[in-house]
Structure 1
Amino acid sequence: MRAFDHPLEAAHTPQFFLARGVQLPNFEVPARAASLRTGLTELGLTPEVPPLPGRAALERLHAPDYLDWLRDAPAAWATMPNAGAEIVGNVSLTPEMLAQGGRRPVKPTGLAGWYTADTACPVGPRTYEAAEAAAGCALAAAAVAAKGGAAYALARPPGHHAYAARAGGHCYVNNAALAAQALRDSGAARVAVLDIDSHHGNGTQGMFWDRADVLTVSVHGDPNGYYPWFVGYAEERGTGPGEGCNLNRPLSIGTGDAGWLEAIAEGLSAISTFRADALVVSLGFDASEHEPLNALQVTADGFARAGAAIGAARLPTAIVQEGGYNVDLLGTLLARFLGAFGEKAPG
């Protein structure tokens, strides 16, 4: 298996995180990537540095104005009196506003509310560089999958909460969605995305909501009590040509290995029925029993069993890193997952 990592991930060093009205240190820090690299070393994998993607690759799914904002907004934000070091929105765009003719603002504060979904995606001076590099890792992994192989992208910051024109939940550019689109562009007629992060892959769902060529499957904590709160329910099945091409398996808070693995097996069955030509895995370790944002209770053995089950599908696969914030364990969990995946994956 090949692996990809880019040193520009360390350019993104978010400080702000709001939880239950309390400001905390952000969990999505460069130490995450350092821990994941130890897992690659344990497996004898030396990650390659991919090229940065061209703007056209990002615009396959992301709106140009959003990408411009992500790149340019920090400089404008810094010109405001008493501005914080990071962009964090303090106004929210609502459906009522849009229905009544709401329009894109021009000032930095309004733009932050227009382009971000929550307070968990602070944008710093070099966030765009890191997000661009993360997308490059995912696209490099997709290129390997397009040739029938399997590869891992150490994508930081993660991406599955990012919509076409909105950041959210630590995510800015949707790395897994871009990988799926790249596989389609490379000739795969049907691509599946299997998201096993403990949070619903709402951005990925949104990007492919009305498409029949990409099946999106997400196994996650019940959004009745867990981020992203508003979507991620079983009745969400897609619309128009995409009706039936979205599958959510929300799990009760506290679900352990057995229930989690059963839901993944159901997802793999749907992927088989869909007759996917290639697979993208959104790999999050925040389902771990030792996570600071824990909702599920998955053990290290559970992650290894998931890796073996997904590898047994024997599909060309791009594995894209999403969440997981216990920096003491991330490397171990990655080694367990990839090690078991590799035993079953296509040569």
Structure 2
Amino acid sequence: MQVYHSEATKLRRARTELHDGQLMTPFECPERVDLVLARLRDSGVGPVAAPREHGLAPVLAVHDAAYVEFLSTCWDEWQAAGHGGEAIPTIWPTRTMREDRIPGHVGGKLGYYALGGDTSISPGTFEAAMASKDVALSAYEHTASSGQPSFGLCRPPGHHAASDQFGGYCFFNNAAIVAQRALDDGHARVAILDVDFHHGNGTQQIFYGRDDVLTQSIHGDPDQCFPYYLGHADEKGEGPGLGYNVNYPLPPGTDYATWRERLELALAEISDKQASLLVVSLGVDTFEGDPISSFRLKSDDFLDMGRRLASLGLPSVILMEGGYAVEEIGVNVAKVLQGFQGA
């Protein structure tokens, strides 16, 4: 399997995350990339190649132009305003306030474009997000030209990024960018299957009213789990997209046997909807040792997961999302890819 990786994805090295009432070092860190790469090389999954640059056009195909401009200038604006720490939102246009005006001050812009206060903007964030998008698109191009599966070691991840909001460590929605590019290349329908512990709220929002992308997510019940306000089973799409968004929320403590049942339902739905390309948002934070998740998958379960994903027989692009049990992240990613290849 061809693997794509860019050292530029590690340019984002945030120091600050608000978690459980404390400011701490983020769980999403550059070391995740090194651990995955090392394990992939040890396991012989496939060659690693650098991506080519794709510019902003693919980003603007799914993201709001003003939002993209904000991400590109936020850090400089934050510094120019005299702030010493990293850029963290502290106020939002909530239910009792207006959301039809974007403030001029960077602090107001942060709240307008942020999903929550968990994700800071630090030096190198925009550059890393651009590199992550290039990794995803280069993986897609390999699959499109060869028919063979590919893995994009994306960082930052992408599935929480909506058309004009960042959060959950995500800035550009890599899976959505790839899906739109595939549609532009002539695919009639693309399936995005999100297997991260957390709901892919951004992916859902981008395609919610469309039937050319089937979006599915198997995740922790939003009644108990981030991002809380999206990801319920009754969210099925709207207008032309009705029936093309499927959520499988599961309770804390879910084991692989239960999780696998939802995977089989998702795979059957992909076949029924006749997708011609599979994009997998691969989070391995469903692992039992993950520090910010609550499922109970074991490392060997990821091998079976990969086999089942391959059983569709579709051209497939697998993109890295979450996974924060740093000691095991490389093992679990490698097992998914080995299972896929072995099938």
Indicate the TM-score class for this superposition, using the shorter chain for normalisation: over 0.9
Report how far residue 171 of structure 1 moved. Answer: 0.3
Inter-partner Cα distance in structure 1 for 2:123 and 2:54: 19
Inter-partner Cα distance in structure 2 for 1:189 and 1:3: 26
Contact 2:114 2:167 in 1 (8 A): yes
Equivalent residue number for residue 73 of structure 2: 72
Deviations 1:60-114 (A, max 9, x none): 1011111111011111100223x1332110001224434xx63011001001101
Inter-partner Cα distance in structure 1 for 2:284 and 2:214: 22
Inter-partner Cα distance in structure 1 for 2:275 and 2:95: 35
Equivalent residue number for residue 125 of structure 1: 123
- Aligned residue among 111, 114, 130 for 1:113: 111
Q: Which moved more, 1:328-337 or 1:151-160?
A: 328-337
Equivalent residue number for residue 13 of structure 1: 13
Inter-partner Cα distance in structure 2 for 1:70 and 1:286: 26
Aligned-partner SS, 2:175: helix
Contact 1:53 1:133 in 2 (8 A): no
Inter-partner Cα distance in structure 1 for 2:143 and 2:200: 21
Equivalent residue number for residue 137 of structure 2: 139
Runs of 4+ that moved beyond 4 A = none
Letter in 2 for 1:117: L
Aligned-partner SS, 1:78: helix
Contact 1:143 1:183 in 2 (8 A): no
Deviations 1:130-159 (A, max 9, x none): 000000011111112323221000000000
Contact 1:159 1:175 in 2 (8 A): yes
Letter in 1 for 2:87: I
Inter-partner Cα distance in structure 1 for 2:274 and 2:19: 41
Contact 1:11 1:129 in 2 (8 A): yes
Equivalent residue number for residue 207 of structure 2: 208
Equivalent residue number for residue 279 of structure 1: 278
Letter in 1 for 2:31: A
1:195-274 → structure 2 map (5 Å cutoff)? 195-274=194-273
Aligned-partner SS, 2:339: helix
Structure 1 residue 171 corresponds to structure 2 residue 173: no
Structure 1 residue 56 corresponds to structure 2 residue 57: yes
Contact 2:72 2:126 in 1 (8 A): yes
Report how far residue 334 of structure 1 moved. Answer: 1.2
Deviations 1:2-35 (A, max 9, x none): 1100110110001111122222210111000001
Inter-partner Cα distance in structure 1 for 2:87 and 2:286: 28
Aligned-partner SS, 1:97: coil
Give the TM-score normalised by structure 2.
Answer: 0.97
Q: Which moved more, 1:88-97 or 1:108-117?
A: 88-97
Report how far residue 315 of structure 1 moved. Answer: 0.5
Inter-partner Cα distance in structure 1 for 2:123 and 2:330: 28
Aligned-partner SS, 2:115: coil
Letter in 2 for 1:89: P
Inter-partner Cα distance in structure 1 for 2:206 and 2:84: 31
Contact 1:289 1:298 in 2 (8 A): yes
Gaps of 5+ in 2: none
Letter in 2 for 1:114: Y
1:93-104 → structure 2 map (5 Å cutoff)? 93-98=93-98, 102-104=100-102
Aligned-partner SS, 1:280: strand
Structure 1 residue 149 corresponds to structure 2 residue 148: yes
Percent of pairs identical after alignment? 37
Deviations 1:268-297 (A, max 9, x none): 011011111000000001110011112111
Aligned-partner SS, 2:135: helix
Aligned-partner SS, 2:116: coil
Deviations 1:317-337 (A, max 9, x none): 110000001221111111111
Contact 2:211 2:240 in 1 (8 A): yes
Aligned-partner SS, 2:151: strand
RMSD in angstroms over aligned alpha carbons? 1.1
Give the TM-score normalised by structure 1.
Answer: 0.96
Letter in 2 for 1:297: R
Contact 1:137 1:155 in 2 (8 A): yes
Inter-partner Cα distance in structure 2 for 1:188 and 1:85: 45
Q: Which moved more, 1:290-299 or 1:214-223?
A: 290-299
Inter-partner Cα distance in structure 2 for 1:69 and 1:110: 11
Inter-partner Cα distance in structure 1 for 2:56 and 2:32: 27
Contact 1:261 1:302 in 2 (8 A): no
Equivalent residue number for residue 288 of structure 1: 287
Aligned-partner SS, 1:219: strand
Gaps of 5+ in 1: none
Query: How many pairs were matched up?
Result: 341
Letter in 2 for 1:10: K
